[in-house]
Structure 1
Amino acid sequence: MSPAPLLIVTAVVEVGAGAGFLLAPGAVFDLLLGEGHPAPDATFVGRVAGAALLALGVAGGLGRNDNSSPAQRGLLTGLLVYNGAVGALLVYAALGLNKAGVALWPAVALHAVLAAGCAAGLRSEPLSPVRESRS
């Protein structure tokens, strides 16, 4: 199965989240952590995270049709690490820091599904041979 649908979903989700963090970080913090008025430094870090999420979304969208290439496998591996880490951090926010907004557990579930999709894509896609370019 092609990872293209997973990468399209990733692109849409991450571009949307990135735009949210860039444009209205307080609203995103409220939805995820129940913190409606984050400190200015947290707002800044949220915007930096938004820029990173935009980059992930763009990479996912552009890499969707590069089937079985080393670059696509690298993208899927990076997204697997990202989704696993973010899911774990959100669980920690809820259980360890007692922070939870209305979107926290849905976000945990979404990251778990995306991580599982990345893992499945890595297992099912054989690596195609790298073509040497001649200059």
Structure 2
Amino acid sequence: MHPARSITPHKLLTVCAVVEIATGLAFVLTPGLVSQLLLGIVGTEDTHLFARFFGLALIALGIACWPRPVGIGAVRSMLLYNGVVALYLAYVGVFVSSGLLLWPAVVFHVVMSALLLRR
């Protein structure tokens, strides 16, 4: 058997999902460390905010890539993504900073989460 043929799409998606979820968790939990290790930069509170956004997106991407029936995974991923981003943006708005579009973005993600839950 040819070695490349033993890697099924299911296995590949599983590996991709595990890597993306682990990387996303690392960004969420230790953005400074990951920024230092991956980018060679010293993280600041500003860069940590963006690193955590990126981490949340990676976690959602990993869930979307997890081998499941098409549609269900996408809905779950987008539901998780919108829910956690809404919560995180709200946290940022209350405890860190608030820009002109922050609260409209929170509302948008809450609405999207509600619509996805109905599905």
Q: When the two structures are superposed, what TM-score results if normalisation uses the length of structure 2?
A: 0.50
Q: Which structure carries more relative contact order (alpha carbon 8 Å, separation 6+)?
A: 1
Greater helix fraction, Structure 1 or Structure 2: 2
